[in-house]
Amino acid sequence: MAGMKDVTAIVGAVEHRVEADMYRCDPAYPISVTVGLPGRDALETNALTVHANNNAIRDWAHAHGCPTVTKTRVIGTSVSLIDKIIVPDEQTALRIVGRSLAARYRRTRDRHARLLAAFAIEPETAMRIASMLRDETDVDFDLLMQVAAYAKTHDTAGMTPRQVPLAGFSAKWLDRKKTKRRKAVELLCARELGLTERPRELRFRHLDPARVHEPNLVAVRPWSEGGALGIRYVVIVENKDTYQAMPPIDHGLCVFGSGKAAADGLTLLPWLFDERSAGIDVVYWGDMDAAGFEILSDIRQTGLDCASMFMDRAAYERYGRYGTNCDQKDKPLERQQPKPLPGLYPDERSLYESLCTGKGVEFLRLEQERIPIADAAAELQARGFPVKFMEVNTRKMVCDDDVSKRTGKDTIDGKVGEAHQGEESRTKSAAVYGT
């Protein structure tokens, strides 16, 4: 009956307490769970239900080794009813809760004990680290302890994460995206690691017909020549095929965003962020999936004023049949809680939320390259981009044969460096471009 706990509710109360005590160094026992007996009128009205519930609680408490506290109530005659359940100790609590919760709790206590044994830290610090690493697998937790043991006796200042000479984990295991791992190691070592990051880089190529034959460029330091070269149209894309197939555009530049690194990399084009950006049109075209919209928001949060292309409800309705519910590795996509993403506009936000939750859409992901490049060229032209093309193949539009024979990319170190040959040919001919 309402307000009176049954066995399921009592178990839930114990689970809540165990969850709350998960990262406390000294959880307090015993635990007292109040049943919540109803008043006299309710007792008399529901006498049979109260008796049945009381008997079930008594049997359950006896089976789990939990003492009970009773109260005398009158239901026609005086009866003794269980008012409280006492959970005497931690082991009893773990027998009561589900196996999954008990296993997580025991793993936390085990990790806490291992950290205390291996490092000269306070119990509270060890528990803080255990909490930070709650989502790490046992393998990764072991690796972290190895990293911390190494860093405690070796100077890592100036190293990149990839240069830490330990076997057993990937080169990205300790990169800047793994901030919790780094912080945990630094707490164990009682100092900062002093690791440095691999230099940012950004790949792009000219679209202007006068320069479209030039090799690709890769900036590793700020490249400031864009304004002086008269670049007025910038298209940022995420897919390599789309990047290579982008048609010539007068005074144009195509940037290969390379996923979530795009926001950092674009800052290597400082002329897009200062007074030189006046009169420059920038378009971001990414995949229609949760990650694509997160990238778009991140780019705008850097201060870059850019429009999006094919990233709204109308585009999804037009091309949605080409979608998929698998990621790049062909694994099923999971639905997720939408993030705030302050950089999105209302129409983008609407589609983003649907692609996160699956509500109102058949597919959670529509890859950029599934949209014909001819449609992209037409859309850019409609937006005022001076696209130079004559359509031959409605599915593909790429640079001419002469361009496909030119390979390589320049590394920019404040200026254009030597082109490296042997790179994959930028594209193959499938269209003829003209004026």
What is the domain extent for residue 146?
99-189
Among candidate residues 96, 121, 144, the one where a domain is terminated: 96
- Residues 297 and 396 both lie in one domain: yes
Q: pLDDT tens-digit profile of 165-175?
A: 877 666 677 76
- Residues 177 and 267 both lie in one domain: no
Reported as type and span, the H/E element at residue 235 is strand 233-237
The number of domains in the chain is 3
pLDDT computed for residue 397 by the predictor: 41
What mean pLDDT value characterizes the chain? 85
pLDDT computed for residue 66 by the predictor: 97
Separation CA 114–CA 123 (nearest Å): 11
pLDDT at 37 over 50: yes
Backbone angles phi, psi at 403, to 5 degrees: -65, -40
pLDDT computed for residue 399 by the predictor: 37
Burial label for 376, CB within 10 Å (0-12, 13-18, 19+), is buried
Residue 290 lies in a domain: yes
pLDDT computed for residue 290 by the predictor: 96
Side chain identity, residue 37: L
- Residues 91 and 106 both lie in one domain: no
pLDDT bin (cut points 50, 70, 90) of residue 73 is confident
Reported as type and span, the H/E element at residue 69 is strand 68-75
Q: pLDDT tens-digit profile of 228-261?
A: 999 999 999 999 999 999 999 999 999 998 877 7
- Asked if 295 and 289 touch (Cβ cutoff 8 Å), the reply is no
pLDDT computed for residue 404 by the predictor: 34
Among candidate residues 156, 189, 222, the one where a domain is terminated: 189
Residue 244 lies in a domain: yes
Separation CA 380–CA 330 (nearest Å): 31
Q: pLDDT tens-digit profile of 189-232?
A: 988 888 777 677 899 999 999 998 899 999 989 999 998 999 99
Among candidate residues 164, 189, 214, the one where a domain is terminated: 189
- Residues 218 and 91 both lie in one domain: no
